[in-house]
Amino acid sequence: MALLLSLLTALVLFSSGPGGALGCDPPQDHVLLSRENLVLLSQMSTISPLFCLKDRKHFRFPRATVDGSQVQKAQALSVLHEILQQISDLLTTENSSVTWNMTLVDQLRTGLHRQLEDLDTCWAWEMEEEGSALAMQGLTLALKRYFQGLRLYLKEKKYSDCAWEVVRVEIMRSFSSTRALQERLRNKDGDHPPLPMALLLSLLMALVLFSSGPGGALGCDLPEDHVLLSRENLVLLSQMSTISPFFCLKDRKHFRFPWATVDGSQVQKAQALSVLHEMLQQISDLLPTENSSVTWNMTLVDQLHAGLHQQLEDLDTCWAQEMGEEGSALAMQGPTLALKRYFQGLRLYLKEKKYSDCAWEVVRVEIMRSFSSTRALQERLRNKDGDL
C-alpha cells in the first residue's frame, strides 16, 4: 500500500509546465521526500492491525479542504502545509507507541521537516501574489479540529499501542489525500477542469480505465491493473504452500462462506467496495501471523502481502469517494459483519488445530475460494453501465 501511495504522490508532484502548476513549483527532491515519507509511515509500526480492530474509529477527515476545484493556489499550499505540520507535531509527542521503530520515526520527522521547508518558500511567494491570509483560516481551522480529534482520541485511549496504530493508519489516509489536491492544482490552466482521479490512476498504471457508463458504474473507477493484480495474487496464493493437500483430507471443514456478500446484483456501489475492502483486509491480516505454516514459501507470502496492500490502496481511494456520495456507513455493516464472522471462524479453526501445517493448508485453500469470489464481484462492477 505504501508503495502505491508513494508512486501516486510522486506522480502528482511532477511539474506540468508553464501556466499549469503552482506559481512556485516544489523542487524535484520534494517528490522523493513524499515517497520516502509514506514508506516510512507504513513501516514504522511493528504491531499487527489485526489486534486493533476493536479500537477503530471514523474521524471525519474534512475532505472539502483537499478539493482542488474549490481553493486558490495559496489556499492549497496552506492546506498542504497544515497537514504536514500537524502530522509532524503529532509524531513528536512523548507518549508515542513503544511498538514503533524510532529510527524510522526520526527519519520521517526529518523528511516532513524538509517538505515543510519546500512549502514555506512557495507559500510566501503565493501570499504575495494573492494577498490576505484570511481566506486560509476556514480551511486550516477544519484541519486543526480534525487533528485535535486524533489527539483527544489518543488521550481517551491513554495512548495505547492500538490507539496509536489506528491513528497511524488515519495519518496515512490524510497524508495521501493531499495528492488529489496537488493533481488538480497541477493541471489547472485558466478555467480548464481538473483531471479526475481515475485519469491519475490510469497514468500511474499505464492501463486503460474500466468502463463506466453514465450514472451506473462506480463513481470512482478502479484501474484495470487492479484485476490483473487480483489474478497475480491468486497465483501466489496457489503456489506458496509446499505441502500436498492429499495429506490433509482428514482436516477438511465447511466454513460457510457468506456468498450473498459477493453477489454484485444485490449490493450498492459503496457496499460493493466495502465488501471487497473487508475481504482483502481480512486475508492480509490473516497471513502475517506468527503462527503461519512452516511449509509456506515466505518469499511468495511477502509478494502476496505486498499485492494485497496495493489492491487495498486502490479501494481506499474509491471507498472514500463513494462514502461521501452515499452517506452513512450503516448500510455496510451487514455484509462486512458476515465476513468478519466468517474469517473469525477461520481463526478459531486454526487455534483449535494448534496452527498445524494441515490446518493452514485447509485455510489456504479456503482463502483461495473467498479470494476468487472477489474477482467475480469486481468483474460485475466493472461491466455494469446502468443497472447496479
User: Is residue 352 scored above 90 in pLDDT?
Assistant: yes
Q: What percent of the chain has pLDDT over 90?
A: 7
Q: Check: pTM over 0.85? Answer yes or no.
A: no
Per the listing, cell 501574489 goes with 129
The 8 Å CB, 24+ separation contacts for 66-71 are 66/177, 66/178, 66/180, 66/181, 67/180, 67/181, 67/184, 68/180, 68/181, 68/182, 68/183, 68/184, 68/185, 68/188, 68/194, 69/184, 69/193, 69/194, 71/139, 71/181
What does the mean pLDDT of the chain come to?
Answer: 70
* Domains of the chain, each with CATH number or no CATH: 2-195 (1.20.1250.10), 225-383 (1.20.1250.10)
Q: Where are the alpha helices (DSSP H) in the chain?
A: 2-13, 28-43, 73-91, 102-130, 134-156, 161-186, 197-205, 225-239, 269-286, 298-326, 333-352, 357-383
| pLDDT higher at 80 or 180 | 80
How far is it, in rounded angstroms, from Cα 296 to Cα 289? 12
**pLDDT tens-place string over residues 225-255:** 676 777 788 888 888 887 877 788 889 888 8
21-30, 97-106, 184-193, 253-262: segment of lowest average pLDDT: 184-193
**For 326-330, what is the mean pLDDT?**
45
User: Is residue 211 scored above 50 in pLDDT?
Assistant: no
**For 197-226, what is the mean pLDDT?**
40
**For 38-64, what is the mean pLDDT?**
80
103-112, 156-165, 262-271, 299-308: segment of lowest average pLDDT: 262-271
